[in-house]
A and B are shown apart, each in its own frame.
Chain A
């Protein structure tokens, strides 16, 4: 067995305006798990895309099994035994498991796809690695954990001896994630090497043999779990010491601000997404909604903010019924919204920072009078938001598209918080932004709470929910499994609820 399974040697990759990888070297040995840790934009994805042949490095080499190679595309990497499990699954939903696994490398008999042979191979493979799966199930009918298994089998079917997994636990419950880590550990016993990309410190410590930390495209640290800790890793990632947990006082809930009663909401396909939901959020408290994505979170947020009409049920905001209120009516009532997808619903990319800073209020005084925008008032307001919320931008007149994700998010938060608000609906408020900005936004959300705002926090990051919430509602399959006081919450218990298990 070769000493080096997969390595990048002094890899540099420049994109317009960004040095994505700057003289990066990593090395994976057989039977080991290498964790690549770094914030969004640190260059992890670029690096693995180079290793997988999607991009070509400007300089430096890729080494596979002690041999310097020149990869021209993913098929080059695949034929050399590199398998990749993408963050967004690369599966064809209406096709069967077996078809998905063999796609691109199909066994044939008399010129036609030999599905029987394919099925045999898949069954044999899943037995050998202990990854049981129904080969004839349609991928679209499988839960995400199973879809991920299909992705892993897809790589193994192509005789991968290196598996690259890009943020594989993001869509899993804590238990599913633990199970995956166990599966990966077993796979390494056959000599497979694994590159594991994540931003979750806990997982890195739990599974990695070697850890490489990237920051701004450079390797800033190489370590092993025994030599470091969560705070040590966080410091390496960010370059300064960070508070992983924001301090918060005990909440002092007031009157009910948001009241949801037996709400039923359909998803885009007309299927029931929220099935008779009831809960309340009081002034001065944070209700965290935990759950694996796709269990109705998006529909819940859209229903509350007026972007989607419930089919049944009642929603009251501050005592007024607004079940099918328009977004504007609801905003006017003092509801702030930090949307899940900031690019799509948070900012208008081609508008300037200043224009974006008044998207929720441009039609009102003092920003416009009789339908005419008042430019200087808007610019002044934008400058205040930028200063107060630490939005790093050369000026308020550049398009929002030129801002980084974290700065866009701070701009959105600044816009939403600069008015008197009664209810804050924050959906994945810190997704994909750097730890510094996460800390900042968390502190601002807590400030709002302490000012008496009712906060509904929807997040797929369990740590975020646990760190901020006063009460935690666990959403599964469109229903609330339970609402727990945050002081009694533990990962184990919430994880089971997220999987729909109630003892």
Chain B
């Protein structure tokens, strides 16, 4: 069921989609391989952002801001990489990444919900801790002997031109993320858990008076959401890159928050936004590869971030979306 969308917004959305499809088709006719590469890169970049955004939205829907996603990505990526390299199993590494994400979610919950530390400060603690710990324990000599996750073709679907390569010939964690979009959507908007989660983010007092344990549910949600960021870390180290490097999350945890807001705190909205931001990243890569512009690569590399600033500023002007009413506030019983 999700949020109610106004008819004009819906029309605008469809119109935008149609225009985009036409443009993609035009580009594909002109230069098939490069268009495919950019779009595949889009999906690759979007996966991480979507996971971070889902982590953020579960927290925010419950009333807890999580600006520690960046740190959750980084430390989980480190855990995933280290365990995968030690055990020689990508699967074990992935589990380790998720476990680390859960643990960091639990730490955030303990600080922000349990001890009622300011939520922004609690998130910052995670970011700083992750950067410090991973830099200190980083072992340059480690590598993934078995390589990273490889693409799995989804039967005949993978043979469709363009769409097949972009969506149906991907590595496993990308598929998992796409499935999670549906799971999180249904959980948030159709399940008892989701209804209560949205209630505690909007009006915890109301939830409390009907017997919902606000603090316990926030604790649970922030911890579980950490698992999504943990999966993001695993994805980053074991599927997208195939190694670990210092500060490899590179600001994407923050970008995920922008994606979450732009996607109106809904999984599919966030995925659409993630594809958009992913596209800017992929385009930037392609520009650098082709040497399209004769300027230092750092400037081209700024593209996604410049677009983020413009889009977030614009989204404030276009349809303003209301934050959950109790966002960022600690809940005191009574």
Residues of A near any B CB (own CB < 8 A):
54, 73-75, 78, 84, 86, 88-95, 99-100, 103-106, 108, 111-113, 115, 154
Given A54-B334, A103-B196, A113-B192, residue A91 in contact with residue B203 (CB < 8 A): yes
Partner of B203, one of A75, A92, A108, A113: A92
Known contacts A92-B203, A93-B203, A94-B322, A75 near B190 by CB under 8 Å: no
Known contacts A74-B208, A113-B190, A103 near B334 by CB under 8 Å: no
Q: Do A112 and B334 touch across chains, with their CB atoms under 8 A apart?
A: no
Q: Select which of A86, A89, A94 is within 8 A of B202 by beta carbon.
A: A94
Separation in Å of the A311 CB from the closest CB of chain B? 19
Report the minimal beta-carbon distance from A107 to chain B, rounded to whole angstroms: 10
Would you list which residues of chain B between 261 and 292 have a CB under 8 Å from chain A? none
**B212 CB-CB contact with A under 8 Å:** yes
Given known pairs A112-B191, A113-B191, A113-B192, the reply for A103 and B322 (CB within 8 Å) is no
Q: Is the CB of B206 within 8 A of A103?
A: yes
Task: Tell whether A90 pairs with B203 under 8 Å between CB atoms, given A111-B191, A112-B190.
Answer: yes
From known contacts A74-B208, A111-B191, infer whether A103 and B199 are also in contact, taking CB-CB under 8 Å: yes
The binding surface of chain B is classed by DSSP as helix
Chain B residues, CB < 8 A from A94: 202, 322, 325
**Per a CB cutoff under 8 Å, which of A54, A105, A112, A113 touches B210?**
A105
A103 touches B325 (CB 8 A): no
The A/B interface has a contact count, at CB < 8 Å, of: 67
Known: A92-B198, A95-B198, A95-B199. A84 touches B209 (CB 8 A): yes
Residue contacts A-B, CB under 8 angstroms, 12 given? A74-B209, A74-B210, A84-B209, A91-B203, A99-B195, A103-B212, A104-B211, A104-B212, A112-B186, A112-B191, A113-B190, A154-B210
User: Nearest chain A CB to B63's CB is how many angstroms away?
Assistant: 12
Chain A residues near B186: list those with CB within 8 A: 112
Interface residues, chain B, CB within 8 Å of chain A? Answer: 1, 186, 190-192, 195-196, 198-199, 202-203, 205-212, 322, 325, 334
B332 to chain A minimum Cβ distance, whole angstroms, is 13
The 5 closest A-B pairs by CB, nearest first: A75-B211, A104-B210, A90-B206, A112-B190, A90-B209
The answer to whether A92 and B211 touch across the interface, beta carbons within 8 angstroms, is no
Point out the residue from A73, A86, A100 that lies within 8 Å of B211, measured CB to CB. Answer: A73
Whole-angstrom distance between the Cβ of A328 and the nearest chain B Cβ: 32
Asked whether, in the complex, the Cβ of A106 is within 8 Å of the Cβ of B192, the reply is yes
Residues of B within 8 A of A86 (CB): 209
Q: Which B residues touch A115, using CB under 8 A?
A: 1
Q: How far is the CA of A362 from the CA of B203 in the complex (A)?
A: 40
The docked-state distance in angstroms from the alpha carbon of A91 to that of B325 is 12
Given A108-B192, A112-B191, A113-B191; A103-B207 close (CB under 8 Å) = yes
Q: How far is the CA of A94 from the CA of B189 in the complex (A)?
A: 13
* Inter-subunit contact A104/B207 (CB<8 Å): yes
Q: How far is the CB of B186 from chain A (nearest CB, A)?
A: 7
